[in-house]
Structure 1
Amino acid sequence: MLKSTVALVRCDTYDSQQVYEAVETGVDLLGGISRFVKPGEKIVIKPNVLFGVNPQRCVSTHPSVFRAAGILLKKAGAILCCGDSSGFGRCEGNMKRSGLKAVADELGIELADFDKGKAVSHKEALLNKRFVLANGVLESDGLVSLPKLKTHGLTRFTGAIKNQFGCVPGVLKSQFHVKMADPYEFATMLVDLTTLVKPRLYIMDGIMAMEGNGPRSGKPRKLGVLLLSSDPVALDAIACKIIDLDPAFVPTSEPGERAGLGTYRYDNIEIVGEAVESFIARDFDVVRKPPVAIRHRPMRAFLKNQICPRPTIDEAICTSCGTCVEVCPVKPKAVDWHDGDESRPPAFKYDRCIRCYCCQELCPQGAVTIRETLLGKLLFR
Structure 2
Amino acid sequence: MKPVSKVALVRCQDYQAEFVDSAVQRGLELLGGAAKFAAAGEQILLKPNILVGATPDNHISPHPLVFAAIARTFQKTGAVLSFGDSPGIGSPLANAKRSGHYAVAQELGVRFADFTTARVVPFPQGHLINQFEIAEGVAQSDGLISISKFKTHALTRITGAIKNQFGCIPGVRKAEYHSLMPNADLFSQMLVDLNLLLKPRLYIMDGIVAMEGNGPRNGTPRPMHVLLFSTDPVALDATVCRMVDLDPNMVFPLVHGEEFGLGSAHDIEYIGDPLESFIQPDFNVNRSPEPTTTDTSFLSTSFMRRFTSPRPVINPTLCTRCGQCVDICPVKPKALAWGSNARIDTPIYNYDRCIRCYCCQETCPSKAISVKQSLLGKIVRRQ
Q: Smaller-chain TM-score range?
A: over 0.9
Q: Is the 8 A contact 1:294 1:303 kept in 2?
A: no
Q: Which runs of 5+ in 2 are unaligned?
A: none
Aligned to 1:174: 175
Q: Deviations over 1:46-104 (max 9, x none)?
A: 00000001111111111011001100110111100000001211110000000100000
Aligned to 1:37: 38
CA contact (8 A) 2:298 2:304 kept: no
How high is the sequence identity, in percent, across the aligned residues?
Answer: 50
Alignment of 1:273-292 (within 5 A): 273-289=272-288, 290-292=291-293
Number of residue pairs matched?
379
| Counterpart residue number, 2:65 | 64
User: How do residues 365-376 of structure 1 correspond to structure 2 at under 5 angstroms?
Assistant: 365-376=366-377
Alpha-carbon spacing, 1:179–1:342, altered in 2? closer, same or farther (3 Å): farther
What residue in structure 1 maps to residue 339 of structure 2?
A: 338
Which residue does the alignment assign to 2:350? 349
Amino acid at match of 2:26: T
Distance 1:15 1:304 in 2: 48
Alignment pair present for 1:244 and 2:245: yes
State the Cα RMSD in Å: 1.4
Q: C-alpha displacement at 1:137, in angstroms?
A: 0.3
Deviations 1:330-360 (A, max 9, x none): 1222111112534321111111111010110
- Shift of residue 171 of structure 1? 1.1
Are residues 113 and 279 of structure 1, via their aligned partners in 2, closer, same or farther at CA, if it must alter by over 3 Å?
same
2:195 matched to 1:214?
no
Amino acid at match of 2:286: V
| One-letter amino acid of the counterpart of residue 295, structure 1 | T
CA distance in structure 2 between the aligned counterparts of 1:259 and 1:274, rounded to whole angstroms: 30
Give the secondary structure class of the aligned counterpart of 1:361: helix
Distance 2:41 2:303 in 1: 55
Q: 1:260 maps to what in 2?
A: 261
- Whole-Å Cα distance in 1 between the matches of residues 299 and 254 of structure 2? 27
**What is the CA distance between 1:219 and its match in structure 2?**
0.5
Deviations 1:276-306 (A, max 9, x none): 1101111111100353451249944443323
Instruction: Verify the 8 A CA contact 1:58 1:208 in the aligned structure 2.
Output: yes
SS at match of 1:355: coil
| 2:117 maps to 1:116 | yes
Corresponding residue of 2:189: 188
Say which is worse superposed, 281-290 or 111-120, in terms of deviation.
281-290
Q: Counterpart of 1:234 in 2: which secondary structure?
A: helix
CA displacement at 1:105 relative to structure 2? 0.3
Identify the residue that residue 268 of structure 2 maps to in structure 1: 269
Q: Deviations over 1:346-375 (max 9, x none)?
A: 111111111010110000001000000122
CA distance in 1, matches of 2:338, 2:323: 8
Q: Is the 8 A contact 1:206 1:223 kept in 2?
A: yes
Q: Residue 104 of structure 2 corresponds to which residue in structure 1?
A: 103
* Aligned counterparts of 1:94 and 1:19: Cα–Cα separation in 2: 23
Question: Structure 2 CA distance, aligned partners of 1:98 and 1:117?
Answer: 23
Q: Does 1:198 align with 2:199?
A: yes
Q: Helix, strand or coil for the counterpart of 1:171? A: helix
For residues 87 and 6 of structure 1, do their structure 2 counterparts lie closer, same or farther at Cα, with a shift above 3 Å needed?
A: same
Question: For residues 67 and 301 of structure 1, what CA distance do their matches in structure 2 show?
Answer: 49
**1:137-190: CA deviations, max 9, x gaps?**
000000000000100000000000000000000110011111111210000000
> Once the 2 structures are TM-superposed, how far is the Cα of residue 244 of structure 1 from its aligned partner?
1.3
Name structure 1 gaps, 5 residues minimum: none
Contact 2:30 2:271 in 1 (8 A): yes
Q: Which residue identity is paired with 1:275?
A: P
CA contact (8 A) 1:240 1:246 kept: yes
State the AA in 1 paired with 2:363: L
Matched residue SS, 2:252:
coil
- Residue 283 of structure 1 aligns with an amino acid whose one-letter code is D
After TM superposition, the score normalised by the length of structure 1 is 0.97
Is contact 1:161-1:191 (8 Å) kept?
Answer: yes
8 Å contact from structure 2 (residues 325, 360) kept in 1: yes
